[in-house]
Chain A
């Protein structure tokens, strides 16, 4: 058994193993407390709820690894959704064709990437702090969205879009497939490409990265552009799932995506972070939430539990680090 665990730890890494342990604990506790927790319907609901939260977290991940943050993710996603909705509505709303959807999606991703690119360029070329730049962009995009929609909903989309939000592919929910593809792409981008390595290097030491000949400014701009494009993907998925767009949709997810990144072991100062543990952290959070829901607590209690859970994990990490430094427990 220990050898099995050791093997597991070697293949997936300590952070993933620890989080899988947490996941197991969550499943066991709620499996006992709420018999419905282990039902197919519950797994299904987790699988449908996870992807948009997951895509937004991926969008948050790359800037954090580069030592920054992107507080504009929710409204970038909303703006991208609005773009798609606008294209669909100007081509007949519910009667719009597949071409309109494709063109609209491409435009939506373009809008998301543009919002990200502006942020990245300001951060890279003026040296302003990412928290502030993305905060200003967030306020601007929220305002722009409210200005365009007057705070209302836009709905009425063609039927062929429903499967994107609600359908299944070979028994797997389509949103989950989209998330899995995006996560694998992000993993490759971060660990196998020059750009991904440069992002980590910028996060650990931006000056040294510059001296080693990496085009830091261009890389930073690209990081936020990619983050914006990922937000746009989340926005398109949100549109398909809710069959409507509204500025402010998913607002509550903003800080929770940061929480998920930190839970997944991403270094808050940047430089270190992997996709796999973050993905597991997402599953843990979603399972906690649905478990609490099943035993009769509401969404707000899960928010509280997510916060407390993050603190608990941070305290455990701290304890673990100290034990590793002093195996006999001396201080």
Chain B
């Protein structure tokens, strides 16, 4: 237990804050600590978690990706046309097409970063503008509602009626989220590739000298991000039952904040899947709590910004060290 706390300091602190917040909300609001609220939180944040674990892999490898949310929009849009062209398709084909298109877009980033030695923030800001501009230009900002039935139909994987008659249900994005979390966990913690990603992110030159294939690392990190972006895009369209070209614009920065809040380090070499989940959860629970406490929705973002600001400005302070410093009279 103690070694776990020491190995994951940020995650532990975040978990403590989250538990405290949930306890407070359970007391302050009747409807927070219900199955229906918990499941709707999961349903509504599954896509963010899927993107978060994708971004995590890029951050671990020492990069950053700004373009994934608009890449997901591009994938959604292309998917609609590909499915029409295929004459129907189904979930299996849907995942292959969305994932494949996402990987292609991720590999564009990886190629530019590796081949021309441009750092990832420059490349992804450029591709962000290129993807978004081209999508808006070719789609003329048109919404698409004519999604195939299998894609837009609600898929309930688990449901439960509580004593007072309200339904709690988990929809398809939740198991997909769990699968993505598990796959990312296996990739970064249980494979040789994962260890190489951590080594590469921590010290690229050192990793190169011990024989890590740098090109492969970039391709895997951004390819994985692309895969998650594509799957997240597929799920997002499934939830809202439409494809809107600029709906995901701006989501990348919210996800980035959640991932870094969860203990991933900008600059590489650190981060965990559970941290991503907790980071997204903290933001989601804060927002949900404000909603249940009857705070004006216009104030949500303000409070969330403040929470993140306080969280990051205190996360670098080591409380234990402060105490010892005081005792020693420094």
Q: Which residues of A contact B (CB under 8 A)?
A: 71, 122, 126-129, 131-133, 135-144, 146-147, 150-151, 251, 255-256, 258-259, 262, 268-269, 297-298, 300-308, 310-311, 314-315, 318
Chain B nearest CB from A246 CB (Å) reads 14
Contact partners of A304 in chain B: CB under 8 A: 129-134, 137
Q: Mark B112-131, 1 if CB is under 8 A from A, else 0.
A: 10001111011101111111
Whether A142 pairs with B125 at a CB distance below 8 angstroms is no
Query: Within the assembled complex, what's the spacing in Å between the Cα atoms of A258 and B309?
Result: 22
Asked if B302 and A147 make an inter-chain contact with CB atoms under 8 angstroms apart, the answer reads yes
Contact (A144, B133) CB under 8 Å given A136-B308, A136-B309, A262-B122: no
Measured in the bound complex, the distance between the Cα atoms of B19 and A98 in whole Å is 54
Q: B257 contacts A143, CB within 8 Å? A: no
Determine if B308 and A307 form an interchain contact, defined as CB atoms under 8 angstroms apart: no
- Would you call B308 and A139 a contact (CB within 8 A)? yes
Find out whether the CB atom of A143 lies under 8 angstroms from the CB atom of B132: no
In this assembly, does B313 line the interface, its C-beta being within 8 Å of a C-beta of chain A?
yes
Inter-subunit contact B298/A306 (CB<8 Å): no
User: Which chain B positions have C-beta within 8 A of A142?
Assistant: 301, 305
The reply to whether B123 and A311 form a contact with Cβ atoms under 8 Å apart is: yes
Chain A residue numbers with a CB within 8 Å of B227 are: none
Does B61 make an interface contact (CB < 8 A)? no
Check B296 against A122 for contact (C-beta < 8 Å). Answer: no
Among A135, A137, A259: residue with most chain B CB under 10 A: A135
- A143: B residues at CB distance < 8 A: 298-305
How long is the Cα–Cα vector from A306 to B122 in the complex, in angstroms? 12
B260 adjacent to chain A (CB < 8 Å): yes
In the docked arrangement, what's the CA distance between A262 and B250, Å?
21
Chain A minimum-CB-distance residue to B257: A135
Q: Which of B133, B254, B260, B261 contacts A307 (CB 8 A)?
A: B133
Check if B256 is an interface residue, CB within 8 A of chain A. yes
Question: Which B residues are in CB contact (< 8 Å) with A301?
Answer: 133-134, 137
Q: How far is the CA of A311 from the CA of B304 in the complex (A)?
A: 34
B133 touching A305, Cβ below 8 Å: yes
In Å, the complex CA distance between A238 and B128 comes to 25
Asked if B122 contacts A126 (CB within 8 A), the reply is: no
Say if the beta carbon of B5 comes within 8 Å of chain A: no
Q: Given A147-B296, A255-B128, is A311 in contact with B133 using a C-beta cutoff of 8 Å?
A: no
Interface of A is mostly: helix
- Give every chain B residue within 8 A of A146 (Cβ-Cβ): 298, 301-302
22 CB < 8 A contacts A-B = A132-B261, A136-B306, A139-B301, A140-B309, A142-B301, A143-B305, A146-B301, A146-B302, A150-B298, A255-B125, A269-B119, A300-B132, A300-B134, A301-B133, A301-B137, A303-B129, A303-B132, A303-B136, A310-B129, A311-B112, A311-B127, A318-B117
Whether A139 touches B254, Cβ cut-off 8 Å, given contacts A268-B121, A308-B126, is: yes
Are the C-beta atoms of B266 and A140 separated by less than 8 Å? no
The A-B contact count (CB < 8 A) is: 158
Q: Does B155 make an interface contact (CB < 8 A)?
A: no
A129 touches B260 (CB 8 A): yes
* Inter-chain contact B137/A298, CB cutoff 8 Å: yes
A151 and B300 CA atoms in complex are apart in Å by: 13
Evaluate contact between A139 and B304: CB separation under 8 angstroms. yes
B130 touches A132 (CB 8 A): no
Contact across chains for A256 and B129 when beta carbons are under 8 A apart? yes
Minimum distance in angstroms from B303 CB to a CB of chain A: 7
Residues in chain A near residue B141, CB distance under 8 A: 300
- Minimum CB–CB distance from A314 to chain B (whole Å) comes to 5
In contact, A135 and B256 (Cβ under 8 angstroms): yes
Closest-CB distance, A69 to chain B (whole angstroms): 8
Nearest CB in chain A to that of B118: its residue: A314
A321 to chain B, nearest CB (A): 9
With a cutoff of 8 Å between Cβ atoms, the chain A residues found around residue B302 in the complex are 140, 143-144, 146-147
Partner of B253, one of A135, A141, A269: A135
Most chain A CB inside 10 Å of its own CB: which residue of B112, B128, B132, B137: B137
